[in-house]
Amino acid sequence: MDKQLGNLYIVGVGPGSSAYLTMQAKQIIEQSDVIAGYELSLNAVRESLSNKKVLVQTVENQNEMLDIVAREREIGKDCSILRVGDPCYSSGIKELLDRFKDAQVIPGISSIQVAAAKLGLVLEEVTVLTFHTLRGDMKITKSMLLNSVRDGRITIVLVVADFMPQDVANFLISGGIDPKLPVTIFENLSLENERIFHGGLSGILKESFTYLSVMVIGV
Ligand SMILES: C[S@@+](CC[C@H](N)C(=O)[O-])C[C@H]1O[C@@H](n2cnc3c(N)ncnc32)[C@H](O)[C@@H]1O
């Protein structure tokens, strides 16, 4: 008799520290036989990974990893695909659900929520933009960014390797935004090497940041 198809979960693990891992996410990961995810998401749950098949995803091998997940499910293994923060924001959830239509999505605490909480922001009054989306046209997101900042709205930006905080600052300044406009950047949120930069837009140009940064423009 055929083995029953294993369960598939897409699990948000928070921004990196286990302090932001929900009890539900932890439980599902502990009950899963196979865990797939990028290094950062795997690090967030390191202590729950012993005795499991761990698939380390990279941009290059992601389809191959998902093929392995599909095969493991076919032999009855429960699998969890991890995503940093919340899986429904800027994490390619559409592509995952297109492939695994019966997946259960487990929410996580987004880096956006952690940054907003640190600054006490009223999230419904804030524009939130990501430059990670594979489907989005960067030009459209850039124009939304400029309009939001021109309108005086606090704007949260998830940066990406080819549009880093320095590029955002240059883009806004060349779009006529005051170089002294305050900005807060949270790098490596919740991790041991967390760093918080606060200064004017032009001050960013003298600094360097990794892509693991949430930029909050206007505070
Ligand atoms: C692919 S997106 C994933 C977003 C994620 N789903 C979320 O809800 O936070 C990756 C971007 O999220 C932000 N990010 C995620 N975790 C972070 C952290 N610990 N510190 C700073 N930024 C983080 C960065 O802007 C990073 O480039």
- Give the CA dihedral 197, 199, 202, 208, nearest 10 degrees: -10
Query: What is the reported pLDDT for 35?
Result: 98
**Ligand 1 neighbourhood includes 211 CB (under 6 angstroms):** yes
Asked whether 14 lines ligand 1 (CB < 6 A), one says no
57 lines ligand 1 (CB under 6 A): no
Q: Kindly state the DSSP code that residue 85 receives in the 8-state scheme.
A: B
Which of 212, 213, 215 to mutate for ligand 1's pocket (most ligand atoms within 8 Å of CB)? 212
**Ligand 1 neighbour 159 (Cβ under 6 A):** yes
**What tokens does 47 get?**
């202590």
In the block, which residue shows the tokens 């140009």?
205
pLDDT tens, position by position, 94-130? 999 999 999 999 999 999 999 999 999 999 999 999 9
What DSSP assignment string belongs to 128-144? EEES--SSS-HHHHHHH
Contact 18 CB / ligand 1 (< 6 Å): no
Q: Which domains does the chain have, with CATH numbers?
A: 8-109 (3.40.1010.10), 112-217 (3.30.950.10)
pLDDT at position 137: 77
Residue pair 202/179 in contact by the 8 Å Cβ criterion: yes
Ligand 1 geometric centre to CA of 34 (Å): 23
Residue 121 vs residues 2, 71, 157, 183: alpha-carbon distances, Å: 52, 44, 14, 13
Q: What is the pLDDT of residue 90?
A: 95
User: pTM higher than 0.85, yes or no?
Assistant: yes
Question: Which of these, 208, 205, 172, 212, lies nearest to 191 by C-alpha position?
Answer: 212
Contact assessment for residue 213 and residue 185, using Cβ atoms and an 8 Å cutoff: yes
What pLDDT does residue 101 have? 96
Q: Residue 62: its pLDDT value, please?
A: 87
Mutation test of ligand 1: which of 39, 111, 186 has the most ligand atoms closer than 8 Å to its C-beta? 111
pLDDT < 50 positions in the chain: 1
